[in-house]
Amino acid sequence: MSRIPTRLFVIVAVSVAVGLAMAVSPFASSSPDGLNKVAEDKGFIDAGKLHSLQQDSPIPGYAFPGIENERVAKGVAGLVGTLGVFAVAYGAAYLLRRRGAPSARSATTASS
């Protein structure tokens, strides 16, 4: 059985994730979640305040600002979010791999 090269796997995985984020996110339910539904039903939805991080969010309301078409705005938000998560995960993996490398080299050097 042949092994799939890691780089090819990452490219395919990111491509599938980006494709799904752009194609599926525009069709996400616009119905409120459980907490919002209860707040609407009980009449205190307007009493809530957004957290400062939500107010200053680069993509408020899961729709990319400045794009008139709501479905396209949500698709672009899905793209940006997916690429952002990938960048953070890749950066963390890179730092962890780099951090672990010297100890592996020193163990090899010490046994020589």
- Per-residue pLDDT band for 12 (boundaries 50, 70, 90) equals very high
107 located within any domain: yes
Residue 53 near residue 106 (C-beta atoms within 8 A): no
What's the structural domain count of the chain? 1
Residue, of 11 and 112, whose pLDDT is higher: 11
Residue type, 22: M
48 located within any domain: no
98 located within any domain: yes
pLDDT at residue 110 greater than cutoff 60: no
Q: Which domain holds residue 70?
A: 6-28+54-111
Instruction: Please state which of the ranges 54-58, 68-72, 93-97 shows the lowest mean pLDDT.
Output: 54-58
66 located within any domain: yes
Q: What percent of the chain has pLDDT over 70?
A: 81
CA-CA distance, 88 to 66, in Å (whole number)? 25
Nearest to 90, CA basis, from 33, 11, 3? 11
CA-CA distance, 87 to 62, in Å (whole number)? 19
pTM for the structure as a whole:
0.64
85 located within any domain: yes
- Per-residue pLDDT band for 105 (boundaries 50, 70, 90) equals low
36 located within any domain: no
pLDDT at residue 111 greater than cutoff 60: no
